Structure 1
Amino acid sequence: MNISPKLAFFAIVSTLAYLGLAVWGLGGFAAFFSHGALVAVAVATVVMAVASLFTEVNLSSGEREDRANRWVLPVFGIIGLLSGYLPAYTDRIDFWTLGGEGVRWLGALLFILGGALRLWPVFVLGKRFSGLVAIQPGHTLVTDGIYRTLRNPSYLGLMVIGIGWALAFRSVIGLVLAALTLIPLIARIHSEEALLRAQFGREYEDYCGRTWRLIPGIY
C-alpha cells in the first residue's frame, strides 16, 4: 500500500501538535513524562497515528455527498484543540480534578481501547471510510463482524478516546468536552444514516432494525 506523503505529513504534524498542547498545558516535558499513564497515552497516540497511515481513509466526496454536514468538521477541530490543552492545564493547577494515579491509568486504558475501536472499523471499511459524509464508488454495506450489532463502532471508539484522555489528566472539564463532542457526532451520524437510507433503501432499514446506533443496549 502506498502511503500518501500529504497524509503522512498531516498525521505527524497533527499528532505532535496535539501532544504538544498537552505537554504545554501540564507545564513541560518533565511534568508530562513523570506520569507513567501519560507516557502510555503518548505512545498510544503515536502508534495510532502511524497505524492510520496504513488505512485507506480519505476526504473524497465520492459519488454523492451531504455537504450541509461539513459544519461538524471545524466544530470537531475546535473541541479537539481545547481538549488537547485544557485537561492538562486543569490537571496542572488542580482545578476540577478527580482522584490520583489510579484514575490516570484508567484513562490510559480507555484511551488505548478506544483507539483500537476507532481504527478497527477504518481498516474494515477501507476506501468507503471518508472524512466527509459521502457515498463512495462501489459503496456496499458492511453488516457483519464488528458491524453486526453496532452501526457506528468507530464513533463509539472516538467517544471512549475522549473519555480516556480526560481521565488520564483527571479532568472534569475534559469529560465535559468529551460530552460536547456528542453534538456534532450525532449530527454526523444522522446525516450519514439519511444518505445510506437513500442509497440502500430497505436493505439499510432492515440493518437499522437489528442494530444499535452508537451504544449497545442504550442508543
Structure 2
Amino acid sequence: MKPSPGLVGATAAGTLVSLGLAVLGAGGLATFFSHPARIALVVAVVVMSGVTAFSSGNLSPGVREDRANRWVLPVFGLLGLLSAYLPAYTERLGVWVLGEEGVRWLGVVLFAAGGVLRIWPVFVLGYRFSGLVAIQPGHTLVTSGVYRVIRNPSYLGLLVNSLGWALVFRSGVGVLLTALIIPPLIARIRSEEALLHEQFGTEYEAYCARTWRLIPWLY
C-alpha cells in the first residue's frame, strides 16, 4: 500500500512546526545549534519523519470509527505545541533546569528509542494503523512481534519520545508536559480497546489476558 499523502503531509508539517518553535524558544538558530545534543536531536527528528513517510499508516476513519474520542486530537495538538516551544524557552530563561550536559544526551537517547518504538508499530500494522480510533477494511488483530508483550507500543514510544525531547533541553516544564499527555492518552487507549473488543470479542479478551496495556509488569 502506498504512503498516505495525509499522513506524510501531517508529519512534514508537524516536524517543521516543532523544530521552528524550538528554535524560536531557544532564541534563534545560533543559540539552538550551540549544543551538539540539539544538533543530534534535529538529525533524529528528520530521520524519523523521513522513515514515517514510507509507512502505510493513514488518517482514515475506516469502516467504523469512535468519533467521540476525537476530542483528544486538539488536546494532543496543544500539548505538542507547548512541548515544542516551552522546554527550549524555559531553559533559555533558566527556569526549572535539570542537571548538567549529560542530561541532554540521555534525552537524545530516549528521544531516538521512543521514536523507534513509536514508528515500528506503524510498519507492523500497515494500513491498519490510523491516526483515528477506527477499524479499517479487512482489519485483523496483530498479536505477534512487538505486540506480543504490550498492546500499545506506539503510545509507550510517544511518552518516551516526549520525555527525551524535554531532557534534551534539561526542562522540568517539559517533563511536566510529558506527564500531562498521560490522561488523554489513557482515554484514547480505552476507546481503542473498547472498539477492538467489540470487533474481535473473545479473541481480543484472550489477547488482553496475556499482555500488558502500556508498560510490562506495571500497567
Deviation at 1:59, TM superposition (A): 1.2
Query: Can you list the C-alpha shifts for 1:110-135, whole angstroms capped at 9, x where unaligned?
Result: 00000000000000000000011001
C-alpha distance in 1 between matches for 2:9 and 2:131:
17
Q: How does 1:155-166 map to 2 (within 5 A)?
A: 155-166=155-166
Aligned AA (1:52): T
User: What corresponds to 2:41 in structure 1?
Assistant: 41
Do 2:151 and 2:211's aligned partners in 1 also have CA atoms closer than 8 Å? Answer: yes
Q: How does 1:72-151 map to 2 (within 5 A)?
A: 72-151=72-151
C-alpha distance in 1 between matches for 2:3 and 2:171:
36
User: What corresponds to 2:172 in structure 1?
Assistant: 172
C-alpha distance in 2 between matches for 1:113 and 1:119:
10
Deviation at 1:11, TM superposition (A): 2.5
C-alpha distance in 2 between matches for 1:14 and 1:185:
19
User: What corresponds to 1:213 in structure 2?
Assistant: 213
Do 2:2 and 2:56's aligned partners in 1 also have CA atoms closer than 8 Å? Answer: no
Deviation at 1:4, TM superposition (A): 4.8
C-alpha distance in 1 between matches for 2:174 and 2:108:
14
Asked if residue 187 in structure 1 is aligned to residue 198 in structure 2, the reply is: no
Aligned AA (1:66): D
Cα distance change of structure 1 residues 100 and 179 upon mapping to structure 2, 3 Å threshold: same
Aligned AA (2:29): F
C-alpha distance in 2 between matches for 1:170 and 1:118:
22
Deviation at 1:198, TM superposition (A): 0.6
Query: Can you list the C-alpha shifts for 1:71-121, whole angstroms capped at 9, x where unaligned?
Result: 000000000000000010011011001012100000010000000000000
- In structure 2, list runs of 5 or more residues that go unmatched: none
The TM-score, its normalising length taken from structure 1, stands at 0.97
C-alpha distance in 1 between matches for 2:24 and 2:194:
41
Cα distance change of structure 1 residues 6 and 122 upon mapping to structure 2, 3 Å threshold: closer
Cα distance change of structure 1 residues 94 and 187 upon mapping to structure 2, 3 Å threshold: same
The aligned length equals 219
Do 2:12 and 2:49's aligned partners in 1 also have CA atoms closer than 8 Å? Answer: yes
User: What corresponds to 2:16 in structure 1?
Assistant: 16
% identity of equivalent residues: 67
Deviation at 1:5, TM superposition (A): 4.8
